Amino acid sequence: MAIKVIEINKSVYADSIKLADETRQRLKEQGTCLLNLMASPGAGKTTLLLKTIENLSSYCIGVMEADIEASVDAEKLQAAGVQSIQVHTGGECAMNASMTKQALDEFDTSGLDLVFLENVGNLVCPAEEDVGAHKKVALLSVPEGDDKPLKYPLMFQVVDAVVITKTDARAFFNFDDEAVCERIHQLNPSAEIFFVSAKTGEGLESWCDWVRRNLFV
């Protein structure tokens, strides 16, 4: 019996790409910037968000917390007075364009200047998905090591900025600032790199200036 062959002339990702582009354009038209934060679990995303929002207090900011289960981070943000919602991905290891649109539809963004998406914690899956963000940011903590761009190159290729977090822990880890910058820029020459400590405040203002420069207001 002859094998039936189906010719697929449309990318299986085409619908997702179209949806991501529509989300990006819709948010831009209403003046809302969407930043996609990606990192390993424990890299300090939520702590950085709290400090960043504190520094950007003149703007209206919301946060979408994405996790497979639980709502711990969203509860932390709400306790700090930050408008936030929790998104459970149903076992998926990253947000995609459809999930992001659904979450945004439930989260009134019309009065927001900026929305942070704190993506599911890992350095693989989130790098593969276009959620409709205007900018992508990777966090890499000092305890994780300066070799992560070598091990997870796609993440560092697709982002607009990299925030090296927990720099106050340098004394306890063999982390080479110059080496990590070189490795990131070999993959992505245009990526901006910030060394930040939420604990001491090191580099926080430079990072916040970058966020300000990328807003639409």
Quick: pLDDT tens for 132-182. 999 999 999 999 999 999 999 999 999 999 999 999 999 999 999 999 999
Cβ atoms of residues 66 and 39 within 8 Å: no
Quick: pLDDT tens for 192-217. 999 999 999 999 999 999 999 999 86
The pLDDT value recorded for residue 7 is: 45
